[in-house]
Amino acid sequence: MGGEAGKRAAAEAAAALVEAGSVIGVGTGSTVNHFIDALPGRDCRGAVSSSEASSARLRELGIPVLDANEVDGLALYVDGADEVNRHLQMIKGGGGALTREKIVAAMSDRFVCIVDAAKRVGVLGAFPLPVEVIPMARSFIGRELARLGGRPVLREGFTTDNGNLILDVHGLEIAEPIRLERALNDLPGVVTNGLFALRPADLLLVGSEGGVERVER
Ligand SMILES: O=C[C@H](O)[C@H](O)[C@H](O)COP(=O)(O)O
């Protein structure tokens, strides 16, 4: 069991962690969609969402979507990942929601990452690293990313929920994720990048053949 069945199993295990009456943080993507679908009946009071897509799905199921500015903090954030290593550091942003995801993750006491087994890697970087950039900085940042050894490719026809562009950086073997996350965020014009190393997950739920594996940090 990998793929969709693995994603669903991990998502359902995360839904069991939602406390009755709580407000939770909700990420974005196909794995999180399974999590959202498992929320009805769990008495979730509301959600702070990381994307317009997740907000729409939550509302369809009758779960109130709250403005991030209306809550002081969140006990739990549940989100997927494109890659995750043994330190529970991740590459995220395959769906382009990285900036809002990083904000909601930072607001949360506990980050639960849900993946199928194919997302686990030894070294991050085979998945192209998404970098959200302000449009006027696109070429400048592209040159800087090339100088750092990557091959940036503009995500054609895509605009983030924040009105910005995504450069997907190929060819990076990320030996020091924290250092690279900081270095990229220091470039003027970068909104954020898809490395979640400064704030890794606290609990990883991996859906696979044998059920759901729990990995605590
Ligand atoms: O921007 C998208 C998010 O970071 C997703 O969590 C990530 O791309 C994984 O998505 P999926 O669950 O669809 O593989």
In tens, the pLDDT along 133-165 reads: 999 999 999 999 999 999 999 999 999 999 999
Mean pLDDT of 17-36: 97
Q: Which of 128, 94, 104 is nearest to 199 (CA)?
A: 104
- pLDDT, tens only, 52-62: 999 999 999 99
Q: Which amino acid residue places its CA nearest to atom 3 of ligand 1?
A: 93
Residue 66: is it exposed, middle or buried by C-beta count within 10 angstroms (0-12/13-18/19+)? middle
- Is 99 flagged in the annotation as binding? no
Question: How far, in Å, is the centroid of ligand 1 from the Cα of 114?
Answer: 10
DSSP string, 98-128: HHHHHHHHHTEEEEEEEEEGGGB-SSBTSSP
Predicted complex: ipTM over 0.85: yes
Q: Provide the pLDDT for residue 1.
A: 47
pLDDT band at 100 (very low <50, low <70, confident <90, very high): very high
Nearest-CA residue for ligand 1 atom 7 is 81
For the chain, list the domains and their CATH numbers: 3-120+198-216 (3.40.50.1360), 129-194 (3.30.70.260)
Share of the chain above pLDDT 70, in %: 99
Q: What is the pLDDT of residue 49?
A: 98
What confidence tens digit (pLDDT) does each residue in 191-201 have? Answer: 999 999 999 99
Reply yes or no on whether the pLDDT at 2 is more than 60: no
Given a cut of 80, is residue 214 above it in pLDDT?
Answer: yes
**144 CA to middle of ligand 1, Å?**
25
Q: How confident is the model at residue 3 (pLDDT cuts 50, 70, 90)?
A: confident
* Confidence (pLDDT) at 158: 98
Ligand 1 center to residue 128 CA distance, Å?
Answer: 13
User: Does residue 149 have a known ligand-binding role?
Assistant: no
Ligand 1 center from residue 95 Cα (angstroms): 5
What is the CA 132 to chain-centroid distance, rounded? 13
Mutate to test the pocket of ligand 1, among 82, 131, 160 (most ligand atoms within 8 A of CB): 82
Q: Is 192 annotated as a binding residue?
A: no
Which residues are designated catalytic?
101
Closest residue by CA, ligand 1 atom 9:
81
Q: Per-residue pLDDT tens for 57-99?
A: 999 999 999 999 999 999 999 999 999 999 999 999 999 999 9
pLDDT interval class at 210 (50, 70, 90): confident
Maximum Cα–Cα distance across the chain: 51
Tell me what pLDDT residue 215 has: 97
207 a known binding residue? no
